[in-house]
Structure 1
Amino acid sequence: MTFKTKWTIGIAIVTLALSACTADSSKPESNDAEQMDHSTMNHSNSGELPATLKNAEHPKFPIGSTAIITDGHMDGMKGAEATIVGAYNTTAYSISYTPTTGGAPVKNHKWVIHEELINPDNTPLAPGTKIKTSASHIAGMEDATVVIDTAVETTVYMVDYTDTATGENVKNHQWVTEEELTAK
């Protein structure tokens, strides 16, 4: 690789890093991906699951099938074709928290599942409940004290998809709820 090529790649990496740092994470999350900052979202995941998470017996979207993502938690997600990697029955929570790494509070983050909460009750938690999470979807989330905004008993899916904005292949994305998918 030539010096000029290395220099160009280095400039591109710095530009991307700086643009991620300037995003405004104080905006609440919503269905409009343009209002969200997931620049620190762990796009490609190992697929590691909480030990207590149970497979769904008869999911609407079986493993290996495809569906269209109808809700955009992140840029490039809405409208993407997803391949179902896993399906699990659980309670999904939208949460608000202040990152353990500092920075602006994150509001209405979708989704953390019941099995990613530290020492939760056996029943779904009520909105307003404060609890810690072991989820590490975004930098500063793991071990943060979160406030439950909403709770939905549903089937959640781990999916692979191609980001419609960047073309990046996203592997083992956690989580998309059944209500956020539609048949292809």
Structure 2
Amino acid sequence: MKKYTGFAAATLTATLLLAACGDANDDMMMEESQMEEHGEMGHGDMDHGSMNHSTDGSIPSGLQEAESPTFAVGDTALITDAHMEGMEGVEAEIVGAFKTTVYTVSYTPTSGGDPVEDHKWVVHEELEDAGEAPLEAGAEVTLDADHMEGMDGATATIDSAEETTVYMVNYTDKVTGDEVTNHKWVTESELSPVN
């Protein structure tokens, strides 16, 4: 009987050690996955982990609906040139289409942290007292947008400007599987028809 008790104790100990090693490996793999998911995503030094992929769908004051957009509200389009991980190659439902000037901007978050460079996108109507569009590259502006933590109220520099149709879209993030609703913004050049 003692032989079996010793054998059972040894087996239990080995099983617990293997389980602990497995949990540690799982934790390491999860941390690496999260780092990849929330790390740099093709925007210079921009960390999209703090980006609000979904929004409440509110429209900035003064933003005008596009009269005859390429993709109408209710259409489905393919996101072909994504500015965030998890977007490229997914189908998106168009929930809003607006004619405006869009900007890439660089700024230091009001909440602290590293400067954000070449953030895509901010529309002209999300700039405080911006005046007439388009603004020139190098212009200094104050942001009135909350796509990312620390963005609202931050002083930013315009990196580029483009007059185009921008879209608010719903899609499923292909990395996380999360449903993203009322995402601001996707430009017309980032979309193509679904075949």
Map of 1:177 onto structure 2: 187
* Per-residue deviation, 1:28: 6.7
Runs of 5+ consecutive residues of structure 1 not aligned to the other structure:
1-11
Map of 2:14 onto structure 1: none
Map of 2:43 onto structure 1: 29
Q: Which has the larger radius of gyration?
A: 2
Map of 2:157 onto structure 1: 147
Superposition pairs for residues 125-136 of structure 1, below 5 Å?
Answer: 125-136=135-146
C-alpha separation in 2, matches of 1:62 and 1:69: 15
Secondary structure of the corresponding residue to residue 140 of structure 1:
coil
> Measured at CA, do residues 28 and 131 of structure 1 come closer, stay the same or move farther in structure 2, by a change above 3 Å?
farther
The answer (yes or no) to whether the contact 1:54–1:88 under 8 Å persists in 2 is yes
Runs of 4+ in 1 over 4 A off after TM superposition: none
The TM-score, its normalising length taken from structure 1, stands at: 0.83
Is 1:113 equivalent to 2:123 in the alignment?
yes
C-alpha separation in 2, matches of 1:169 and 1:85: 14
The answer (yes or no) to whether the contact 1:44–1:170 under 8 Å persists in 2 is yes
The answer (yes or no) to whether the contact 1:37–1:74 under 8 Å persists in 2 is no
Map of 1:77 onto structure 2: 87
Map of 1:94 onto structure 2: 104
Alpha-carbon RMSD across the aligned residues, in angstroms, is 2.1
C-alpha separation in 2, matches of 1:53 and 1:72: 23
Q: Which residue identity is paired with 1:160?
A: N
The TM-score, its normalising length taken from structure 2, stands at: 0.78
The answer (yes or no) to whether the contact 1:68–1:183 under 8 Å persists in 2 is yes
Greater percentage in helix = 2
C-alpha separation in 2, matches of 1:57 and 1:72: 25
The answer (yes or no) to whether the contact 1:158–1:172 under 8 Å persists in 2 is yes
Deviations 1:89-113 (A, max 9, x none): 0000000000001111100000000
Deviations 1:1-53 (A, max 9, x none): xxxxxxxxxxx9xx88xx56xx656x8716xxxx7520011122100011211
Is 1:104 equivalent to 2:118 in the alignment?
no
> Measured at CA, do residues 36 and 147 of structure 1 come closer, stay the same or move farther in structure 2, by a change above 3 Å?
closer
Secondary structure of the corresponding residue to residue 108 of structure 1:
strand
The answer (yes or no) to whether the contact 2:77–2:92 under 8 Å persists in 1 is yes
Q: Which residue identity is paired with 2:99?
A: N
